[in-house]
Chains A and B, each alone.
Chain A
């Protein structure tokens, strides 16, 4: 094999030039050729665009998410949607909600807004807080590290679902979205903190950090400009995988009745409501479930692909 290249060169066959590629470039090229990543990205894009364009889309079908349509449900049968599959048809694209006839498509579209907003915001708070604590703990070490690590262990020992349920049930219901974001991040930041702390420990004594210090760089500069860029890959992967987890948590909390309150639509709330009507109108239960499933699946596909693409030991493409 080693002799092949010179021989080809001698025979005048152009050997492909070795190109220098940055790690980001390599990851991008790997992602572009990964069908799973592209599928995940496509689904995520569809849902994000849907959420952003919610007012436009409900303008197209002409139903606000809070509007009741008494003509679409059978009052005599206790509010069962008229027609097959939960009343799916030209008027109501995904059927109507049993009992009050609200348009399911409009509620799904607006529900996507709420679900994605909460999940993304909670992930952002989690990652920012976790990264800050992890960086400081890993970089300063010593007593600061011990205290911060103990706090992280402690928070991780809390039975988070029970505590989130309990906190949300006694909290005053002024701004549920903000409340959900804060309470969801309150129990997940130590997971990022631990990862970041470990990564920081492994790079803080590397030569480039010493070099920066010798050049007179101060703590903040070393942390943000030297260490952070070098541990960005695992944080990025964690972020992508935390979003589907948070979408699931938000849906679970709304499903259990402590999430966003009606009339604000949310997928978990629709699923909870759909469970009551499951026997007579299964479509109303299935549609938000499938949306939730697809979103979580898509973000997970994307996160997994990103992890593989950023792995320096990964395939040599």
Chain B
């Protein structure tokens, strides 16, 4: 198990390094003048020259890249003399347009995106599994058909459409919820959850629909297995058969998808954050892309890739717990 874990961690590091190299090449090497982009539209030529020196763009590419990667682990000083910028560990570069290190920007925005992703994930897991389970156990009935029609509609609606509909109904007409305005959890869980409920429901309605369909399909397949008949023949309660024998093994494919989805959302749900104006990493990405703030885009891409690869690793480890057939060499 330890050897397996070490091997996987090494693979994760390798993947991140390659993604870092590709992203670095796309944003630091391909554009004609990265320093001018990074500096922003209002920069004077002298400022651009300074930024170019601080970003190390006058040095060979491999040195630039090496400096970037080692900066993540050791921190670095950008430029020299009185204008030098201190970029402490972990240094993901410096956003000249925001006059802040990229890492500070990321950590500032991350709580919003993590709150959004985790809350939505809890909602869609609970909703999706429940609906899928009920539909599978009542397969072929009118209830099953109407639930599946509803999930199909819910999964086909674009996020911004769902967002605006929920906003119209729950905020403007019924006035049940406030217009989302992010409050950190330190200001009280009620204010935090109340303001995030709408974005949670928006994201969850999309994902819950997919999870319901997946759970239903997986559950129907599992419940046709011979070992379910054996469990019933042993005289177990139907509830035990469904939860302990059926659901547990039907969960395996759902865990895979869940890891990928959650990993993808932790570093920002760009559209949802954009529609609701939530100040998360997704919104940071959106702004950075349109201001051509490449150091921030590179940092966000790395953070997102980190979450995705970590989630995939997590999924493989969880397999061992829920599926006794999986063993690690």
Contacts and interface: CB of A to CB of B under 8 A. Distances in A.
Interface stretch (B38-46, B66-74, B267-275): B267-275
Interface stretch (B105-113, B151-159, B177-185, B194-202): B151-159
Given A154-B19, A157-B309, A292 B158 contact: yes
Contacts of B304: 159, 162
A167 B156 CA distance: 26
A251 B156 CA distance: 13
B19 A158 contact: yes
A162 B265 CA distance: 11
B127 to A, nearest CB: 19
A23 B267 CA distance: 45
B314 interface: no
A157 B8 CA distance: 14
Given A162-B304, A252-B271, A157 B312 contact: yes
Interface string A147-168: 0000001100111011101110
Contacts of A190: none
Could you say which interface size class chain A belongs to?
Answer: 20 to 34
A301 B152 contact: yes
A257 interface: yes
Given A255-B160, A257-B290, A297 B152 contact: yes
Contacts, number: 95
A250 to B, nearest CB: 11
Interface string A274-317: 01001000000100010011001100110010000000000000
A300 B155 contact: yes
Interface string A256-286: 1110000000000001000100100000010
A165 B153 CA distance: 27
B268 to A, nearest CB: 8
A157 B30 CA distance: 22
Contacts of A275: 160, 164, 275
Interface string B11-22: 000010011001
A293 B309 contact: no
Could you say which interface size class chain B belongs to?
Answer: 35 or more
A238 B152 CA distance: 17
A170 interface: yes
A18 to B, nearest CB: 26
Binding site secondary structure of chain A: helix
Contact of A169 (B156, B157, B289): B289
A130 interface: no
Contact of A159 (B26, B155, B264): B264
Contact of B292 (A169, A252, A297): A169
Contact of B271 (A158, A170, A255, A285): A255
B165 to A, nearest CB: 9
Contacts of A166: 26-27, 289, 297, 301
Interface in B223-275: 264, 267-268, 270-271, 274-275
A162 B156 contact: no
Contacts of B27: 166, 170
A255 B274 CA distance: 10
B135 interface: no
B292 A157 contact: no
Contact of B270 (A162, A271, A289, A304): A162
A271 B152 CA distance: 21
A153 B160 contact: no
A314 B19 CA distance: 42
Nearest to B15: A157
B161 A289 contact: yes
Contacts of A157: 15, 19, 305, 308-309, 312
Nearest to B308: A157
Contacts of B290: 169, 257
B35 to A, nearest CB: 14
A278 B161 CA distance: 11
Contacts of B23: 163
Contacts of B153: 293, 297
Contact of A158 (B155, B270, B305): B305
Contact of B164 (A258, A278, A301): A278
Interface of A: 153-154, 157-159, 161-163, 165-167, 169-170, 244, 248, 251-252, 255-258, 271, 275, 278, 285, 289, 292-293, 296-297, 300-301, 304
Interface of B: 15, 18-19, 22-23, 26-27, 30-31, 152-153, 155-161, 164, 264, 267-268, 270-271, 274-275, 285-286, 289-290, 292, 297, 300-301, 304-305, 308-309, 312
Given A170-B26, A258-B289, 7 more contacts: A153-B15, A157-B305, A159-B301, A170-B30, A271-B160, A292-B158, A296-B156
25 contacts: A153-B15, A157-B305, A157-B312, A158-B19, A159-B264, A162-B268, A162-B304, A163-B301, A165-B270, A165-B286, A166-B26, A166-B27, A169-B289, A170-B26, A170-B27, A251-B158, A252-B158, A252-B271, A256-B270, A257-B290, A275-B164, A289-B161, A293-B153, A293-B157, A297-B156
3 residue pairs, one from A and one from B, having the closest CB atoms = A159-B304, A297-B156, A289-B161
